[in-house]
Structure 1
Amino acid sequence: MNIADHAMPELGATEDRSAMIRDHLRDAIVDRRLAPGTKLSEAEVGTLFDVSRTVVRAALQALAFEGLVKTERNRGAFVANPSPDEARQVFDSRRLIEPGIARAAAERITSAQIAAFRERLHDESRLLSERGPSARRAEIHASGDFHLLMASVAGNAILLKFMEELVARSSLVIALYGRSGASSCGHTDHGAILRALEQHDADLASALVLSHIDHIESDLDLRVSEGMPLRDALTL
C-alpha cells in the first residue's frame, strides 16, 4: 500500500468537514444570523469547529462560488451584501430556469411527491400564523424548500444544483430587501402551482411560476438610498 492509499480516507474526511462547515455557514447567512458584511475569520471559524484553516478556506471558497461570501485580497472573507442590481439578476436568472423546471416536474410528479409538497405547504401555513424575526426567517426557508422540492421532482441534478444556489441567494436578498407584505400571496401562489403540478398541466405550472417570481420581486424594496450629508445626519 502506498502513501496515496493512506491519504484517500483522510482526504474524504477533510472534504466532509469542509462541506459540514459550508452548510452551517450557509444556514447562518440565509437565516440572517450572520449579517451582511460580517467578517468570516478563518482562524475563528476553525476554532469553533476544531478544524484547520485549510478546511475552513475550502468551505469559504465554496460559499464564494455560490455568491453568499465575498473574498477580498489581504482582507479576508465577508458575508455577501448583494446590491439591488445583483438582486435583480438573481430573479432574472430564476425566470430563465424555473419555468422549465416546473414543466419537467409537472410531467414527472408522483402521488408521494404531491404528499411531500402538501407537507411543505402545511409548514408554510403554520409559519404564516406566527410572529417575530425567527418565524420570518423560517418562513423564507420553507418557501425556498418548496422550490427546491420542485427542482428535485424535475429530475435534473444539474438544474437542482443551480436552484440550490439561486434559492440561497434569493433567501438572502429577501431577508435584506423584503417588505414581507407578500408572504400570504406567495403561499397562495405555491398552492396554485401545486394544483397545476398535480394535474400534470405543464403550461399552467410554468406560467404560474413566472407570475410567482414576479410577486416575490415586487415585494422587494430595491431603491438605492443615497444617504444624508454628515451634518444633516448628526443634527438632532
Structure 2
Amino acid sequence: MTKHTAAPGPQGRRRQGEPTVPTTTPAALPAPPDAPAPASKRGAAVDERIYRAVVQAVMGRRLPPGTRLGEADFCELYGVSRTTVRKALQRLAHDHIIELRPNRGAVVASPTPAEARDVFAARRALEREIVPLVIANATPAALAALRAALAAEEAARRGGDRALWIRLGGEFHLLLADLAGNAVLRRFLGELVSRCSLIIALYEHPGAPMCADGSHGDLLALIERGQAARATAAIEHHLLEIEGRLRLDTGERKVDLAQALAGC
C-alpha cells in the first residue's frame, strides 16, 4: 500500500526528528491571566465611568444646566485620550443629558420652559394610551413586578438617594410601558422619560420630593382594580403635578468639574 503524506506547508517539509512549529500565531493565543486589559477595553471602561459620573453629577445637581464640559478637563481627570472622552460625550448627548453645541463644545442640557412643557405634554399623551393597555394585559406576575418596583422606589426615597429615586421613578413608568405590550410606545416613552428625569433633576425645587405623595401607589391600586378611566386620569394628574413643581429660572454659574465629579 502506498503511504500518502500531507503536502509540505509554505516553510517546506519537516525533517525527521525536527520539532514541530506551531501553526497558531502568537496573536491567536490566549493572554495570561495576569495580563493587562487591552487598550481598547480600558478605554471602554473609562468611557463608561465618564458617562456614569456625569449622569450622577447632573442628577445630583452638582452640574447645573449650561455647565461647559471641556474635553481637555476629562482627559486630565481620567488620563485618557480625546477619542475616549468623545465617545462618552456622544452617548450623553444621545440620552439628552448634555448638548453638543457648535463653537462651544459639550454643555449640560438646558431645556427651555417651552421644551419642558412640550416633553411633559408628549409624555402625558403616551401614558394615557399605555395605562389602559396595562390593565387589559394585567397578570399576577405583572402586578407583582409593579409592586416590587414601587417598593424599590420607596426604599430609595427613605434612604435619601435622590438620583436613584429619580431613576427608579422613571423606571416605574417604563415598566408600565413594558407591560402594555406596545414596543413603539415603549421606545418613544423611553426617550421622554430620560428627558423628563433630566428636567426634574435640574429644575425641581430643592427639597421637593419626587412622587412622595403616593401617586404611584394610588395608580397601582387603580390598575389592580381594573379601573381604566380613573387610572388614566390619575397618571395624567400625576404628571401635571410633577411639571408644576419645576422651577425653570435657574441661572448659569461657574462649576469646578473635578469637584462636581468627585467620588463618582
Does 2:58 match 1:32? no
Does 2:218 match 1:192? yes
Secondary structure class of the residue paired with 1:120: helix
Change in CA separation of 1:181 and 1:29 when aligned onto 2, cut-off 3 Å: closer
Instruction: Find the counterpart in structure 2 of residue 60 from structure 1.
Output: 89
Shift of 1:80: 0.7
160-169 vs 37-46, which moves further:
37-46
Does 2:246 match 1:220? yes
Change in CA separation of 1:38 and 1:111 when aligned onto 2, cut-off 3 Å: same
Change in CA separation of 1:214 and 1:80 when aligned onto 2, cut-off 3 Å: same
Which structure is higher in helix share? 1
Shift of 1:79: 1.1
Instruction: Find the counterpart in structure 1 of residue 256 from structure 2.
Output: none
Q: TM-score, normalised by structure 2?
A: 0.65
Shift of 1:119: 1.7
Secondary structure class of the residue paired with 1:112: helix
Instruction: Find the counterpart in structure 2 of residue 228 from structure 1.
Output: none
Q: Percent identity?
A: 41
Q: 1:148 aligns with which of 167, 174, 180?
A: 174
Shift of 1:17: 8.3
Secondary structure class of the residue paired with 2:214: helix
- The 8 Å contact of residues 106 and 205 in structure 1, kept in 2 or not, is answered as no
Whose Rg is larger?
2
Q: 2:191 aligns with which of 165, 181, 186?
A: 165
Letter of the aligned partner of 1:161 in structure 2?
R
Letter of the aligned partner of 1:32 in structure 2?
R
Q: Unaligned stretches of 5+ in structure 1? A: 1-10, 226-236
Shift of 1:110: 2.3
Shift of 1:105: 1.7
Deviation string, structure 1 residues 47-88 (Cα, Å, up to 9, x no partner): 766765345434433432443211121221111122222221
Shift of 1:14: 9.1
Change in CA separation of 1:26 and 1:166 when aligned onto 2, cut-off 3 Å: farther
- The 8 Å contact of residues 58 and 202 in structure 2, kept in 1 or not, is answered as no
Q: Unaligned stretches of 5+ in structure 2? A: 1-39, 252-264
Secondary structure class of the residue paired with 2:247: coil
Instruction: Find the counterpart in structure 2 of residue 233 from structure 1.
Output: none
Letter of the aligned partner of 1:119 in structure 2?
A
Q: TM-score, normalised by structure 1?
A: 0.72
Shift of 1:37: 2.5
Secondary structure class of the residue paired with 1:106: helix
- The 8 Å contact of residues 32 and 172 in structure 1, kept in 2 or not, is answered as no
Instruction: Find the counterpart in structure 1 of residue 153 from structure 2.
Output: 124
Does 2:140 match 1:111? yes
- The 8 Å contact of residues 91 and 170 in structure 1, kept in 2 or not, is answered as yes
RMSD (Å), alpha carbons: 3.4
Does 2:230 match 1:204? yes
Q: How many residues align?
A: 213
Secondary structure class of the residue paired with 1:129: helix
Shift of 1:140: 1.9
Change in CA separation of 1:198 and 1:55 when aligned onto 2, cut-off 3 Å: farther
Separation (CA, whole Å) in 1 of partners of 2:71 and 2:95:
18
Separation (CA, whole Å) in 1 of partners of 2:224 and 2:191:
26
Change in CA separation of 1:196 and 1:51 when aligned onto 2, cut-off 3 Å: farther
Change in CA separation of 1:205 and 1:57 when aligned onto 2, cut-off 3 Å: same
Change in CA separation of 1:110 and 1:46 when aligned onto 2, cut-off 3 Å: farther
